[in-house]
Amino acid sequence: MKKALLALLMLGAAFAVHADQPMSDHGIVDHYCAKANTQRDMDECAAAALKDADRQLNATYQAALKKWAAFPDTTAKLRQAQRSWLAYRDADVAARFALADKERAQGTAGTAYPMAHSLYQAGLEFERVARLCEFLRGDAYGERDTASCADLAAHPAVVPHQP
């Protein structure tokens, strides 16, 4: 029992060493909006957070496709998963802001709406980047690459097809 627990702890420690954890909602605000003083500043920094999240999401996804290009079944499943995740993201954001969207259409929405919308979507996208990074690392296949997700996305190692 002690050996199994020790092995499980070691596996968890190995995972924690290279896992890129997504920023918390507070972390996103602290990172992108620390110097914001006005609502306009907050809207702009939230938009910057979303733009960065979009960029990271696209780069990590494209790197994963490139890495696994020699395995068409894997890349087809990854494309399907990404399309499904995008549909989930859009539905989740729509559900979260359904009342605000209605108020916005009526001209009665609060001024914090653009900021809240952008920060929420950015948070979802940063979470997805972390998941795609684990796929990019090949964790499910026993790889233990400890490079940062940004480095892996910029320079994906291609897995050669083996007959």
For residues 7 and 24, give the distance between their C-alpha atoms in angstroms, rounded to a whole number.
29
What is the full DSSP assignment across 10-26? HHHHHHHHH--PPPPHH
pTM for this entry: 0.81
Name the DSSP letter for residue 156.
P
Percentage of the chain beyond pLDDT 70 is 82
Q: Please provide the size of the chain in residues.
A: 163
Quote the CA–CA distance of 9 and 12 in Å, as a whole number: 5
Complete domains list, the chain, with CATH: 41-154 (1.20.1270.180)
| pLDDT tops 80 at residue 142 | no
Using 50, 70 and 90 to split pLDDT, how confident is the model at 33? very high
Side chain identity, residue 81: A
Count of Cβ atoms closer than 10 Å to residue 105 Cβ: 9
Residue 3 has pLDDT above 90, yes or no: no
Q: Rounded to whole angstroms, how far apart are CA atoms 126 and 54? A: 8
User: For 76-85, what is each residue's pLDDT tens digit?
Assistant: 999 999 999 9
Task: Tell me: pLDDT of 138 over 90.
Answer: no
